[in-house]
Chains A and B, each alone.
Chain A
Amino acid sequence: MLVKIASAAILGLEAYLVEVEIDSQRGLPGQSIVGLPDASVRESRDRVRAAIENSGFQFPPGYFTINLAPADTKKEGPLYDLPIALGMLSVSEQISVKNLNGTIILGELSLDGAVRGINGILPICLSLKKEGRNKVIVSKENADEAALVEAIEVLPVETLKEAAEFLSGAKIINPHKIDIASLFPPEPEYGIDFADVKGQGHVKRALEVAAAGGHNLLLVGSPGSGKTMLARRLPTILPPLSISEALEVTKLYSVTGLLDGKGVLVTTRPFRSPHHTTSDIGIIGGGRIPRPGEVSLSHLGVLFLDEFPEFERNVLEVLRQPLEDGKVTISRAHSTLTYPAQFMLVAAMNPCPCGNYMDPVKTCTCSPYTVQRYWGKLSGPLLDRIDLHVEVPRLKKEELAAQPDGEPSKMVRERVAAVRTIQQERFKGTETFCNARMTPRQMKEFCVLEKEGEELLKSAILHLQLSGRAYDRILKVSRTIADLEGSENIQARHIAEATQYRSLDRKGNEV
């Protein structure tokens, strides 16, 4: 006797169909799972047995061979518990599966027979839709997430028994539906606001420019000057996620199992701040079957690296490729996977190990060599990829005592959103989505300088000894500044402001 039940497996952000084939033979009792199962799949044996017995069924006699086809890809995770249990019950003729009709079944079993949620439901459902499947049985926990894919009929079950009753026609389960638009709050809720920050007007301006054009940013300042506080508020001025963007981010969080506590859909832009002891694999992603790293988890959001030079050098260097390409491709013996990584990098650092270098009040106790070594950790190519360098000075006594006086995030966000719309129009039909990611050809087309501006830029390059890449960065940033002003062409004052954000190119000459 043989029964086939359809299930799925995830590879990266895509899923493919897995056929769970269950065959039983008379003989000594036992079971074996084939089709490259990993430990968590093999352990399903014990869960399935307990779940079947505790659901009021009999553990079927005989020897079971369970094949997860295709047999040449590695299967992981507990999601095959439910199809295996249902298959065994059907093979031993304890239940009928006349309502199966190609329904995909996914779910982990608890020992008492309850069906638990699994990771990666959203990407699985999206991929199954492409394969032309339209029915899926999932746990109640996963129902909302699965229902995000509109074309799929989602049948939530709470227990193994309920699933068995549905398949044999003894119970009708109503398809679960969800209204995606209702998941988006009318106003994004962050709990923090730009208006909380005292002073630091020019830093706020730089953050606004960075947010508007998707530029990377480096904040340099002594301890306690508010770098972290400012960086944390950056997501609050970014435009809200669109539905398709939200789905993209949710996919990443779903496969990594980080969706818990974030609701069904990630509706706010991610903000990730990994500790500086994070490894290069942690940042970029990896593992035997590569999983997304921090750069991918901050996709369409902000990756904040506090204490930037404290990160291992190799960790900083691996950032270069995703910063350039907006995606990471990770190759392992088993598979090569590509994850999106369109993030804004915000780095924060002290000007020297003690933190008081160039401070007007406190004295720096570092030797010039220490300072040089500290800065030496940041390679030229990496600094080149950061568009805006901003110094965050210590606040003066008066400023500290004053009331917070900043603009609320909402107003800044509206300006930023308007500039993002301009960019969407501008780059329609191309892969570029913001000024920071313009290709050289696009720069030629869209960064038209007025004569005065051109001369200013020329003299800046001459006097500041800027690299070719720094030149490009200035042009891109000035494009954003011009957009913020609603100006068609880039004018001299836009160039002047953009050049001012290259302070480290100058400092490099000093130290």
Chain B
Amino acid sequence: MGKESYQQGIKGEEVAEKYLIQHGYKIIEKNFHSQQGEIDIIASENEFLVFVEVKNYSFRSYGSPLGAVRKSKKQSIIHAARTYLYKHNIKNTFCRFDVLTIYRRPDGSRAVDLYRNAFLIN
């Protein structure tokens, strides 16, 4: 079970990457880790530096999948983003947080949704 869901996760991120590239994103880094957080995909789109959180799910939960990105998760993404900006000495760049949801249907096919500017830092 554990191994399978890990496999699905890897597969999901591949799907996500493909989807983003198709939509004009340039992937800069994947699975960036800071001490207190992580970001699944860092990409650039036009003038924006985009931090993308990938959410896999295979069951219909109630409400918006955005709800699945909880406050603590947001904090961890924000922390990692700050670390990334600091490490690479990035200033004067518009940043954005996107959430990409991947729903795996029972038949194995996937539906991808991209939520641009999904949340703010406060």
Contacts and interface: CB of A to CB of B under 8 A. Distances in A.
Contacts of A61: 48, 94-96, 117
Interface string B96-114: 1100000000000000000
A59 B122 contact: no
Interface string A30-63: 1110000000000000000000000000010111
B82 interface: yes
B21 interface: no
A26 to B, nearest CB: 5
B117 A26 contact: no
B78 interface: yes
Nearest to A32: B122
B120 A27 contact: no
Contacts of B72: none
B85 A28 contact: yes
Interface string B32-64: 000000000000000010000000000000000
A381 interface: no
A438 B48 CA distance: 74
B121 A29 contact: yes
Interface string B77-94: 010011001000001111
For the residues of B in contact with A, the DSSP-based class is mixed
B99 to A, nearest CB: 13
Nearest to A63: B121
B95 A27 contact: yes
A33 to B, nearest CB: 10
Nearest to B122: A30
Interface in B5-51: 48
A27 B96 CA distance: 9
Contacts of A26: 91-95
B96 to A, nearest CB: 6
A31 B122 contact: yes
Given A61-B94, A62-B94, A28 B121 contact: yes
B117 A28 contact: no
Nearest to A62: B94
A350 B52 CA distance: 74
17 contacts: A26-B91, A26-B93, A26-B95, A27-B93, A27-B94, A27-B95, A29-B94, A29-B96, A29-B117, A29-B120, A30-B122, A31-B120, A32-B122, A59-B117, A61-B48, A61-B94, A62-B94
Contacts of A29: 94-97, 117, 120-121
A26 B91 CA distance: 8
B78 A28 contact: yes
Contacts of A27: 85, 91-95
Nearest to B121: A30
Contacts of A32: 122
B92 A28 contact: no
B36 to A, nearest CB: 16
A174 to B, nearest CB: 37
A26 B117 CA distance: 14
Contacts of B78: 28
A63 B81 CA distance: 14
Contacts of A31: 120, 122
Nearest to B82: A28
Nearest to B81: A28
Contacts of B91: 26-27
Contacts of B81: 28
Nearest to B93: A26
Contacts of B94: 26-27, 29, 61-62
A333 to B, nearest CB: 29
A58 to B, nearest CB: 9
A124 B111 CA distance: 53
A330 B91 CA distance: 51
A63 B92 CA distance: 11
B43 to A, nearest CB: 15
B53 to A, nearest CB: 14
A172 B97 CA distance: 39
Given A28-B85, A29-B94, A30-B122, 18 more contacts: A26-B92, A26-B93, A26-B95, A27-B85, A27-B93, A27-B94, A27-B95, A28-B95, A28-B121, A29-B97, A29-B117, A29-B120, A30-B120, A31-B120, A32-B122, A61-B48, A61-B95, A62-B94
Contacts of B97: 29
Nearest to B95: A28
Contacts of B93: 26-27
In order of increasing CB-CB distance, the 8 nearest A-B pairs are A30-B121, A61-B94, A30-B120, A26-B92, A30-B122, A28-B121, A28-B95, A29-B120
Nearest to A26: B92
